[in-house]
Structure 1
């Protein structure tokens, strides 16, 4: 008799948390986000999963560069959306700036995050910092 184990993905898995304090952790945040999206049942379509990974990458990178040098990422799933919450120690909200098309100094990230998300909110905390909540449809 043959026995096999079947892994059952969850529609609403427990939140997944990643903490980072260096650019090396951005890769881990992307990989964890991809695995989280793939574990959902039903899984988001490939374009939505790619958008989620890009949003997480941008938010975590911005937290490192502009938000105090560290971040906490929390991923959650709802029936209709997936939410990435990125916290950092800076109370300063992201600001939109004109993208630098020639000098390579950036300015594209916040524009992308705003365009790719269906819901976007900034809340105070933890501590004196902020959390950016970005939701994308499933």
Structure 2
């Protein structure tokens, strides 16, 4: 596990052409949750928050796999009151929840799930550079 800039509150995982990207990203994030005390969860609220984080990571990485030729990296950042999850890819697309959302339709729920579970999410682009970073913030349990 690599820490960025020696900072214990930032974890970075290079993904690129790795196989089993989604489970790899979940395992990496789960380890960060253990290291930062989110797991093992002592209460149902803490357990739900940790599961939300893992689901959001799965959705962001899956979205990059399906719509952006795969993710380049995952960053997990811890700060007061939340975790920020960042998935960088080389795609030009613009992730957005499908509207109207139809619960019975197969597929197409990823960004709707992210929107519902996160206190904020968005897309960062660097002018003149390929790709983007899709990020989401999950609030820490009280």
Indicate the TM-score class for this superposition, using the shorter chain for normalisation: 0.7 to 0.9
Please say which structure displays the higher CA radius of gyration.
Answer: 1
- 2:16 corresponds to 1:16: no
CA distance in 2 between counterparts of 1:99 and 1:13 reads 40
Question: Deviation per CA, 1:26-77, whole angstroms, max 9, x where unpaired?
Answer: 1110011111112114667111111000000010011011012233100010
Partner SS state of residue 52, structure 1 = helix
- Matched with 1:28 is 24
How large is the RMSD of aligned CA atoms in angstroms?
2.2
2:109 alignment counterpart: 108
Aligned length: 125
1:131 to 125, 130, 133: 133
Structure 1 segment 1-12 matched on structure 2, within 5 A: none
Structure 2 length as normaliser, TM-score? 0.77
Report if aligned partners of 1:64, 1:71 keep a CA contact under 8 Å in 2: no
Structure 2 runs not aligned, ≥5 long? 1-6
